[in-house]
Amino acid sequence: MRARALRYLAALLLGSLPARADTEACARTLREARRLHAAGELREAVREMDACTACGALADVCAETKRALREAVPSLAVTVHDCDGKALPRAAVFVDGVRVPQADRVELDPGPHDVRAALDGRTEEQTVVVAEGEKRSASLMLAASTTRPVPASAIVMGTVSVAAFAVATGLFVSLGGPDVRPTTVGLATPAAAVASQRTYDDRLLAASVVGTVALTALVATIVIVLTR
């Protein structure tokens, strides 16, 4: 009978050891979470508490601490608009250097945070301070872009100008230049000389016409770009 009682007592003591170890571990987690909370590191405190899953005798305290910490974590939603108040959904939003979805709530630690918006080379920055438990929204304004896209007509005319200049240059080179007249030396008959002169004149005319087209297209391109 005595031996049976001793075995029963030993079983009770050994069975209580895991529960006691869990409770001590949970108590350490609670102390660490409260330290992080006091230091303003609320998100880390929440992660610390989420890792504590078996609190034993401290289960109620753990559950209440988790709930309170999650409610205390502030959040920030950032939107971007132009000078007229029109939303700019394509703008990129960064909080503390990390890109976040525009208008989505982002959980942060309490305190100041750097917020930046960027679109087509335009940027706007500001510092936003969020308090514990605050669900704050911020809106950044991007000024109108001073750079206008190059019109398609300017691109077309510029292409025509380049191509025409290339053709005209090729024609002039093939003639030896506009001031070089054909020679009759080596030609068998006067008719051949006349034909050579005519060919030369036709090519010179073509080169001049193409050159004029190239110059006109270049001028048109410049005017379109300057007046867009």
How does pLDDT run across 52-72, given as a tens digit for each residue?
Answer: 776 777 888 888 999 999 999
The mean pLDDT of the chain is 81
Q: Which residue has the tokens 């391109």?
A: 221
Q: Which residue has the tokens 């034909």?
A: 195
Please, which residues have CB within 8 angstroms of residue 15's CB and are 6 or more apart in sequence? none
Q: What pLDDT does residue 7 have?
A: 43
Q: What pLDDT does residue 200 have?
A: 73
Task: Using the predicted structure, report yes or no on whether residue 19 has a pLDDT greater than 60.
Answer: no
With beta carbons less than 8 A apart as the criterion, state whether 48 and 28 touch: no
Q: What is the mean pLDDT of residues 41-62?
A: 85
Q: What is the mean pLDDT of residues 197-211?
A: 77
Q: What pLDDT does residue 71 have?
A: 95
Q: What pLDDT does residue 17 have?
A: 39
Q: What pLDDT does residue 3 have?
A: 47
With beta carbons less than 8 A apart as the criterion, state whether 40 and 27 touch: no
Q: What pLDDT does residue 24 have?
A: 84
HSE on the CB side for 58, CA within 13 Å? 21
**C-alpha dist (Å) from residue 65 to 19, 23, 73, 116, 161:** 20, 15, 13, 34, 74
Quickly count: other Cβ atoms within 10 Å of residue 120's Cβ.
11
Q: What pLDDT does residue 161 have?
A: 84
With beta carbons less than 8 A apart as the criterion, state whether 124 and 144 touch: no
Quickly count: other Cβ atoms within 10 Å of residue 188's Cβ.
7
> Which two structure tokens, joined as six digits, stand for 122?
């335009």
Query: What is the gyration radius of the CA atoms in the chain, in angstroms?
Result: 41
Q: Residues 86-105: pLDDT tens digits?
A: 999 999 999 999 999 999 99
Q: What pLDDT does residue 50 have?
A: 86
Confidence of residue 34 (pLDDT cuts 50, 70, 90): very high
Q: What pLDDT does residue 16 have?
A: 41
DSSP state of 146: S
C-alpha 62/C-alpha 45 separation (Å) is 12
Q: Residues 150-197: pLDDT tens digits?
A: 778 888 888 988 998 888 787 777 766 545 555 554 545 666 666 666
Q: What is the dihedral of CA 90, 93, 97, 98, to 10 degrees?
A: -80
C-alpha 133/C-alpha 137 separation (Å) is 13
Q: Which residue has the tokens 């559950």?
A: 63
C-alpha 128/C-alpha 111 separation (Å) is 8
Name the pairing type of β-strands 122-130 and 111-119: antiparallel
Confidence of residue 110 (pLDDT cuts 50, 70, 90): very high
Range in 39-53, 184-198, 207-221 with the lowest mean pLDDT: 184-198
pTM to 2 decimal places: 0.55
